[in-house]
Amino acid sequence: SLCPSIHYRPIKPNDLDRLEQIHRDIFPIKYESEFFQSVVNGVDIISWAAVDRSRPDDHSDELIGFVTAKFVLAKDSEIDDLVHYDSSKGEETLIYILTLGVVETYRNCGIARSLISEVIKYASGLSVCRGVYLHVIAHNNAAICLYKRLMFRCVRRLHGFYLIKRQHFDAFLFVYFINGS
Ligand code: ACO
């Protein structure tokens, strides 16, 4: 098939260079080296990588896609008003998706969908987790279609949220509610 055999695994320290390179290639925003260090070392960040096992040996474990995320306490989040609270279960948390990307030649194979599904599956297994949320720049149609398709709800438009090359751009805030929220 056009879409090869993709595997999903955690991100690890020797993914660092490739992870940085893909971020540079596909995002308009610059991420600091501390961010990449936290991702590959799993410090306060959870992440999944996609790799194509059908590639020749030296590339069969190379990142072709990724999702990175972190925990945010629901009450400290910007969607604290949308969360259903039930203190008997412990302190509610949310998972905030920081970055999601698939290299261009591997797009439209369902890799981003699978990466987001991994996050949702993980979040759903945590009884204190009430949802997964993220920001996306308002003109990113591919990503917006993806989140809508995966049943995320667009709950807010944030004016001038992103500053890129001294220009402001709006963001949409998407949320996927879980565990009865
Ligand atoms: N146009 C319209 N809909 C699209 C497009 C597109 N170009 N790409 C994906 N979709 C939608 C479709 O509904 C698709 O479902 P379908 O195939 O059943 O119709 C669904 O998304 C799933 O598509 P995938 O194949 O899983 O998406 P892909 O692996 O190609 O990755 C992504 C999508 C991550 C947006 C990719 O285009 C990319 O890396 N873009 C550059 C970086 C980026 O924009 N990242 C997201 C920014 S937001 C954030 O990081 C929190």
The Å distance, Cα 75 to ligand 1 centre, comes to 30
Helix (H, G, I), strand (E, B) or coil at 137: strand
Encoding tokens for residue 56? 């020749």
Q: Which domains does the chain have, with CATH numbers?
A: 6-177 (3.40.630.30)
Which ipTM did the prediction report? 0.97
Ligand 1 environment, Cβ below 6 A: 26, 97, 99-102, 107-113, 134, 136, 140-143, 145-146, 149
Side chain identity, residue 165: K
The Å distance, Cα 138 to ligand 1 centre, comes to 14
Q: How far apart are CA 68 and CA 36, in angstroms?
A: 10
pLDDT in tens, 101-146: 999 999 999 999 999 999 999 999 999 999 999 999 999 999 999 9
What Rg value do the Cα atoms of the chain yield, rounded? 17
Q: How far apart are CA 173 and CA 181, in angstroms?
A: 17
Other Cβ atoms within 10 Å of 44 Cβ, number: 9
